[in-house]
């Protein structure tokens, strides 16, 4: 069927249709205004300020059917107007010629001062020119220029108000987008600076770590040389005495015992060096933690010079671990001996043990290297002098001591032994409040 349009029968119908058309135009105009002002939508679609200006120019042309239109943007550094968008692009020459004429006759200055839309005739009387400033509450963002053919004697009713709303919304959104771009740029610069600082700190940490390693190696070499030099002095002296005694027909038994003592001491030193280097576990077997603690306490008590109270709350016949018993007893004995040496009088050492579970979600940086599973946590706590941060960082270094250089390898060996058994050893201490050494060993079922 042919499309038959209803011709208005009377003037009332004509007025009704005109009103409906006007309402449709206003509704369309408001939709365009809302689209330009939808800041969140522009952010989600990653629309920048230049894209927003082009969208505003297109919407403005649809509102009033301009033959040519453009938006001039205010340069925030120089405050000059520069052409940001022209529709259609091929009319740019005509529009800029008209704009230069408007500038020379102060029409542009007038529209900027008024901060509202004005409509004037072009100098050559070819166009009706609409000038409308794009401004937020506090500053001018740009200027809209539209050219209507001279045949259009008047601007459509309500169009100027709709254009004002569109350009005001566009100015506010443009300012918000520019602030967002500025914040994003500053945020990116901040991230870059933070990354650079972190890299610098990592480099410094690496340098400090390397320096500390070199210090530790120097201390280790000096300590080993000191121990072996003492042993060799006794060894050479004893050999000379044995030769002399044998040449005189005397019994060298006492000097031979001295050689045996020196040999055992150097054997112990070699054992600790291997332990610090995380040497192989010689003979692992499943054993009870309370038996290891009792054996270590028995060895440590032999060297007591002052009265010390020992308290063990380790449950009997409860927790099993698979370890080299000789190595682990040596490690525990070294830690207990170190605790004894930190106390002067009224000393107290408390040893406890309990089962804990460690999973992949643990946020304790000290336990990050441990595989998920069940562990026995052995705590050795004393009420001695305690340590500062620097001392705690060096306590497991070989031959480190707060008393004198070349003290020994007990704590370094303990560290290596525990690590070699897939465990972890941590330390907590404060000056004047004692020290707590915690050992984590995989639970054996």
Burial readout 113-151 (b: 16 or more C-beta within 10 A, e: otherwise): eeeebeeeebbeeebbbbbbbbbeeeeebbbbbbbbeee
pLDDT at 41 over 60: no
Q: Out of 161, 184, 207, pick the residue that ends a domain.
A: 184
Q: How far apart are CA 139 and CA 311, in angstroms?
A: 78
> Among positive and negative, which fits the CA dihedral 325, 327, 333, 336?
negative
How is residue 46 written in tokens? 């990653």
| CA of residue 46 relative to chain centroid, distance | 26
What are the pLDDT digits (tens) for 176-225? Answer: 777 777 888 888 888 889 988 888 888 888 777 666 665 666 566 656 66
What are the pLDDT digits (tens) for 256-306? Answer: 777 777 777 777 767 666 666 656 556 788 999 999 999 888 877 776 777
> How many of the other CB atoms lie within 10 Å of CB of 301?
14
Q: What is the pLDDT of residue 404?
A: 44
Indicate which CATH number applies to the domain containing 33.
3.30.450.40
Residues 253 and 298 in one domain: no
> How many of the other CB atoms lie within 10 Å of CB of 261?
13
Q: Which domain holds residue 429?
A: 277-442
Residues 212 and 342 in one domain: no
Q: What is the pLDDT of residue 227?
A: 66
Residues 283 and 272 in one domain: no
Q: How far apart are CA 272 and CA 277, in angstroms?
A: 8
Average the pLDDT over 105-123 and give the result.
82
Residues 208 and 169 in one domain: no
How is residue 317 written in tokens? 């016949």
Task: Show Cβ contacts of residue 362 under 8 Å, excluding neighbours closer than 6 positions.
Answer: 368, 370
Residues 237 and 306 in one domain: no
Residues 132 and 104 in one domain: yes
Q: What is the pLDDT of residue 5?
A: 46
Residues 159 and 217 in one domain: no
Going by their DSSP bridges, the two strands 308-312 and 347-358 should be labelled as parallel
Dihedral (Cα; 349, 405, 226, 327), 10-degree rounding: 30
């Amino acid at each position: 069927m042919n499309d038959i349009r209803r011709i208005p029968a009377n003037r009332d119908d004509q007025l009704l249709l005109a009103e409906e058309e006007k309402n449709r135009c206003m509704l369309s105009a408001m939709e365009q205004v809302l689209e330009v002002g939808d800041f969140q939508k522009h952010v989600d679609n990653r629309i920048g300020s230049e894209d927003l200006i082009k969208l505003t120019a297109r919407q403005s042309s649809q509102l009033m059917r301009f033959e040519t239109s453009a938006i001039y943007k205010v340069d925030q550094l120089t405050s000059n107007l520069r052409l940001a968008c022209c529709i259609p692009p091929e009319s740019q020459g005509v529009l800029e010629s008209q704009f230069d004429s408007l500038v020379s006759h102060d029409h542009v200055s007038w529209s900027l001062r008024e901060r509202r839309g004005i409509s004037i005739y072009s100098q050559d009387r070819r166009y009706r020119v609409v000038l409308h400033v794009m401004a937020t509450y506090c500053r001018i963002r740009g200027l809209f220029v539209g050219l209507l053919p001279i045949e259009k004697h008047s601007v459509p009713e309500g169009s100027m108000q709709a254009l004002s709303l569109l350009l005001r919304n566009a100015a506010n959104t443009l300012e918000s987008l520019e602030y967002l771009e500025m914040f994003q740029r500053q945020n990116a610069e901040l991230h870059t600076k933070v990354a650079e600082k972190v890299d610098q700190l990592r480099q410094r940490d690496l340098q400090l770590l390397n320096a500390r390693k070199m210090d530790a190696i120097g201390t280790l070499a000096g300590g080993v040389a000191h121990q072996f030099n003492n042993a060799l002095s006794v060894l050479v002296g004893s050999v000379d005495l044995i030769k002399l005694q044998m040449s005189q027909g005397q019994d060298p038994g006492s000097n031979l015992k001295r050689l045996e003592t020196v040999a055992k001491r150097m054997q112990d030193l070699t054992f600790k060096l291997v332990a610090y280097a995380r040497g192989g576990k010689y003979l692992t077997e499943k054993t009870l933690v309370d038996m290891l603690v009792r054996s270590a306490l028995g060895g440590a008590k032999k060297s007591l010079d002052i009265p010390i109270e020992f308290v063990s709350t380790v449950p009997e016949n409860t927790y099993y671990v698979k370890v080299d018993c000789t190595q682990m007893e040596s490690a525990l004995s070294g830690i207990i001996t170190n605790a004894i040496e930190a106390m002067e009088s009224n000393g107290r050492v408390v040893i406890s043990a309990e089962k804990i579970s460690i999973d992949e979600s643990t946020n304790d940086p000290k336990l990050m290297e441990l595989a998920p599973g069940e562990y026995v946590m052995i705590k050795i706590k004393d009420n001695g002098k305690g340590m500062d941060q620097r001392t705690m960082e060096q306590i497991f270094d070989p031959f480190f001591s707060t008393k004198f250089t070349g003290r020994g390898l007990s704590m370094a060996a303990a560290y290596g032994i525990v690590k070699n058994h897939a465990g972890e050893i941590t330390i907590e201490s404060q000056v004047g409040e004692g020290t707590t050494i915690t050992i984590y060993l995989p639970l054996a079922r």
